Amino acid sequence: MKTKRIHNFNAGPAALPLEVLEEVQETFLNFSGSGMSITEISHRSKWFEDVINDAVARTQRLLNLNDRYHVLFIQGGASLQFCMIPMNFLKDGESADYVNTGTWSTKAIKEAKILGKKFNVVASSEDDGFSYIPKNIPFNADAVFCHITSNNTIKGTQWERFPDTGKALLIADMSSDIMSRRFDVNPFGLIYAGAQKNIGPAGVCMVIVRKDMLEKVPGNLPSMLKYTTYAESNSLYNTPPCFSVYVIQLVLKWLEEKIGGLAKMEAINQKKAKLLYDVLDAGGFYRGTARPGSRSMMNVTFRLPSEDLEARFVKEALENDLGGLKGHRSVGGCRASIYNATGIDGIEALVDFMKVFEKKNG
């Protein structure tokens, strides 16, 4: 009997490609002829070594990384990176710049403050409810790094172009838009992405770090909080989340071999987002919460004329196999997270439902 699948618009954990889930299902009891599940094999085995090495190689190809970068897999999600970054890269007396564009930027800033590190919040969009990405930012010439959040899941904003930070290296939380589009990696000293939004299941964070950044890592940090620990051991210092890394490998394989790379994925994502934003812009019933020019391709946030209508919208959408459309609890409203794995068919089904719902309730 065929398993029923709905269109999944959850913000994270989020949709995974059906082909990937089917391959996981097919190999789960006997991975690569081992007679064991991927959840049972040793992380020191050649079976898993092949998995993690392939995931690294595919990341390098998809993002056009040169040999100046390490690709690491670290537990603790993006939230652990909020403290690891200042711990590893900010010495006493040194300062970093942060741009505050919403909840996750705020959390990153909070961790730097807890650690007693010196930093400057050089720009913020809090004055208008984080509805836009700041421009013409006065970055400091002596900043060790400049931290941004590339896409904001809760407020539905995204950097259309990354800022020029001068000599300071960029560090970006790309949890919700990694592998969704092409970009030049060269200005970045470090990129991190919790997997559960766009590239895999929960349990692991992908970290891409420039090798010369590792020269700054203090020797007196705990082993599990040093980037050098992971770089020197191919992320195998201790037992990694093997299943999560395996699914990431399959997602990257899907991106390369099925989709055809990031240029094609970006074109698909642009088409998906346009379909939804066209509905939001068509009349007064639906109202997008992010300013044009700062709108996210990954998380489309919107309001209806009343909270009662929003609750009814989410309920009736689920009855029509459209799930995960409730906005984040901190802001309310509605949100469609349309990550890589969400197909055009799902967007078209949502758009059709939105038009019908407006006609009935507008």
Report residue 225 as tokens.
């909080």
Cα distances (angstroms) measured from residue 236 to each of 215, 230, 321, 338: 20, 7, 40, 32
DSSP classification of residue 5: -
Peptide bond into 13 cis (omega under 30): yes
Catalytic residue, chosen from 117, 197, 226, 326, is 197
Q: Is 104 a catalytic residue?
A: yes
Counting other chains too, the contacts that 213-222 makes at CB distance below 8 Å and 24 or more residues apart are 213/88, 213/89, 213/169, 213/189, 214/70, 216/88, 216/89, 216/91, 216/144, 217/88, 217/89, 218/87, 218/88, 218/91, 221/87, 221/88
SS3 326: strand
Q: Is 197 a catalytic residue?
A: yes
Q: Is 254 a catalytic residue?
A: no
Q: How many CB atoms lie within 10 A of CB 212?
A: 10
What is the C-alpha to C-alpha distance for residues 174 and 356, in angstroms, rounded to an integer?
35
Cα distances (angstroms) measured from residue 30 to each of 225, 272, 337: 34, 37, 33
Catalytic residue, chosen from 104, 117, 159, 177, is 104
Catalytic residue, chosen from 47, 159, 173, 254, is 173
Cα distances (angstroms) measured from residue 123 to each of 73, 135, 324, 335: 30, 8, 32, 26
Interior angle at CA 136, CA 134 and CA 139, nearest 5: 95
Residues taking part in catalysis: 104, 173, 197
